[in-house]
Amino acid sequence: MSDHYIVGDLVAEFLQTVGVTTAFGLVSVHNIPMLDAIGRRNAIRFVKARGEHGAGHMADAFVRTSGDLAVLFSSTGPGAANAVPALVEAGFAGTPLLHITGQTASPNLDRDQGTVHDVPGQLQMLEAVSKTAYRIRDAGSALGILTKAVSDALSAPMGPVSIEIPIDVQRTAIKRPDILDRNPLALPQPQAAPMADIEQAAAMLRQAKRPMLWTGNGAKFAGAAVNRLVEMGIPLATSWNGRAVISEHHPLNFAGLYGSPDIANFLAAVDLLIVAGCRLRGHETADMSMALPGPRIHIDADPAANGRTYDNELFLCGDAGATLEALGDLVAEQLSLEAGYSDAAKAAKTAAQEGFTEFLGDYGAMPAVVRTAMPADAVWVRDVTLNNTTWGNRMFPLNAPRDNVYPISAAIGPGLPLGIGAALGAKGRKTVSMSGDGGFAINLAELWTAVDENADVVFMVMNDRGYGVIKHIQSSLYGGRHFFADPTAPDYKTLAEMCGMPFFHSDTVAGVGAALTAAIAVDGPALLEVDMNAIGPFPAYFKPPPYASK
């Protein structure tokens, strides 16, 4: 390594010191000093994506499946703007993603001089789509801001953080900081809510005869504490992003089935709802029109969560896992649940599953067929598509929280790059990424990234030759006029051949099992097309929200 040490070297060594093993992005004029340093050190894998949009989604999914911090590098200006959709998604998902972008030279900053990639207001743009955003204005502040940015990303509520580094700052020679001989991060430890509040919650739980637990992303790694309460006989529902905090094969885990009439009837009899680390967001509660039982206790590390969607009788500000653990300690062996309550919950789940299978019609067997073909520890990645919005989010049982990756923002198109990033972070587990044909096309160029990186992922394209989700909305609200919803799709077999990727096909539900099994056996990426038009029309599922009019 050269004795000439610059801020670009500092960035590369800092990332290595805090545990970054993988970065994603594109090399460009305003980030070369940093990426040159990463290349020379040869300690961080750099995934060369075809665009910042795809690279950002890859980095996001890598974090979700691995639990490790990942970095997105973009160029400045248009390159940073291309990363915006991925930063938006990471914000919705609560992903601790570090985005580092270049910037024009310091003398040109904020002067609208029209230099290369000089976009007025770039920092303000990044502030709008990041948890926090910083500009490193001089070499002396670089290490402090890098440390602060990573701390922000990894502190609850977690999210993406952006940093701008002007090109002249990246090239500035500095003395190597001795603190890089050890990890400079000092992250706060998760803290439970105040004990007085937990004791009040425990008193309410002891009085309840039919309590229920509802957890989300903020509690999805609190499996031991959640399982302890469930084993006391308390049924569980989860947000779609918080799925599999305990195995969804557990008969008391409703997972995402709570929208069914059977679960709704069960909820009506619940006399205490404990919400932990969950937004109860509109996408999953019919824009907060779903009737939820009360009284409600809400646990969240973010004080702004208090009353944000549903009101509550008691708010506990603290880490969901630590608070639930303390709550379990206080009520152990002290609950007096109604006789037969657990059996009623199990029956409601079974009835909901049977009803949903019947609703799916020709696609009723699809969840079981796909689940049987996949290894128990496989990562389940989905795009927003008819199959995911129905059975993928609700009827497909998952075993662990890091098995679950999908666009929390409800964006169409991230599925393909999310699948690549998930596979690269899966640490030996197989990844299956389900997309519709419309969404799959949005990041099509990233197929070559999957091949370059030998990502161990099966791209399962549910091909109905159009934007199926949009068509259902158009049918429900706009007289069945499917304007602009039928983009031309490629011939997927030819596409796979162009990429040098094995191709599989099925035009029946039963045939999906054998085709997916064969695709999973491939070491590296494979493409599976499922012909939905041959299987039959997908059942209409979309219901207008309360404020919609035809």
Per-residue pLDDT for the chain (550 aa), expressed as one digit of tens each?
457 899 999 999 999 999 999 999 999 999 999 999 999 999 999 999 999 999 999 999 999 999 999 999 999 999 999 999 999 999 999 999 999 999 999 999 988 887 888 888 999 999 999 999 999 999 999 999 999 999 999 999 999 999 999 999 999 999 999 999 999 998 988 999 999 999 999 999 999 999 999 999 999 999 999 999 999 999 999 999 999 999 999 999 998 888 889 999 999 999 999 999 999 998 888 888 888 999 999 999 999 999 999 999 999 999 999 999 999 999 999 999 999 999 999 999 999 999 999 999 999 999 999 999 999 999 999 999 999 989 999 999 999 999 999 999 999 999 999 999 999 999 999 999 999 999 999 999 999 999 999 999 999 999 999 888 888 889 888 999 999 999 888 999 999 999 999 999 999 999 999 999 999 999 999 999 999 999 999 998 766 544 343 3
3-state secondary structure of 336: coil
Topology given in CATH for the domain delimited by 195-348: Rossmann fold (3.40.50)
* 365 DSSP assignment: T
Give the C-alpha distances (Å, rounded to integers) separating 315 from 274, 303, 439, 480, 538: 10, 9, 39, 45, 42
3-state secondary structure of 328: helix
- How much is the pLDDT for 549? 38
- How much is the pLDDT for 256? 85
Q: Where are the domains of the chain?
A: 7-179, 195-348, 364-535
Tokens, residue 214: 């509802």
What's the rounded Cα separation, in Å, for the pair 157 and 186? 16
Total Cβ atoms within 10 A of residue 350? 12
Same fold across 195-348 and 364-535 = yes
Total Cβ atoms within 10 A of residue 352? 24
Q: Which CATH number fits domain 364-535: 3.50.50.60, 3.30.930.10, 1.10.150.450, 3.40.50.970?
A: 3.40.50.970
- How much is the pLDDT for 80? 96
- How much is the pLDDT for 550? 34
What's the rounded Cα separation, in Å, for the pair 301 and 305? 8
Q: What's the CATH class of domain 7-179?
A: alpha beta
- Does an H or E element contain 2, and which? none
Burial of 290 (C-beta count, 10 Å sphere; 0-12/13-18/19+): middle
- Global pTM reads 0.95
- Closest to 233 in 3D by CA, of 254, 210, 255, 216: 210
What's the rounded Cα separation, in Å, for the pair 252 and 276? 17
3-state secondary structure of 383: coil
* 180 DSSP assignment: G
With tokens 């039928």, the residue in question is 486
Cβ atoms of 60 and 93 closer than 8 Å: yes
What's the rounded Cα separation, in Å, for the pair 474 and 550? 10
* Close Cβ partners of 489 (under 8 Å, ≥ 6 residues apart): 437, 438, 441, 463, 465
Give the C-alpha distances (Å, rounded to integers) separating 241 from 95, 218, 316, 321, 364: 11, 9, 21, 16, 23
* Close Cβ partners of 31 (under 8 Å, ≥ 6 residues apart): 25, 73, 74, 75, 76, 100, 101, 102, 170
- Closest to 412 in 3D by CA, of 432, 375, 439: 439
What's the rounded Cα separation, in Å, for the pair 56 and 409? 14
Extract the runs of DSSP E, i.e. beta strands, from 68-198. Answer: 70-74, 97-103, 132-135, 161-166
Terminal-residue alpha carbon distance, the chain: 67
* pLDDT tens readout for residues 274-323: 999 999 998 888 888 888 999 999 999 999 999 999 999 999 999 999 99
- How much is the pLDDT for 468? 86
Cβ atoms of 487 and 441 closer than 8 Å: yes
Burial of 218 (C-beta count, 10 Å sphere; 0-12/13-18/19+): buried
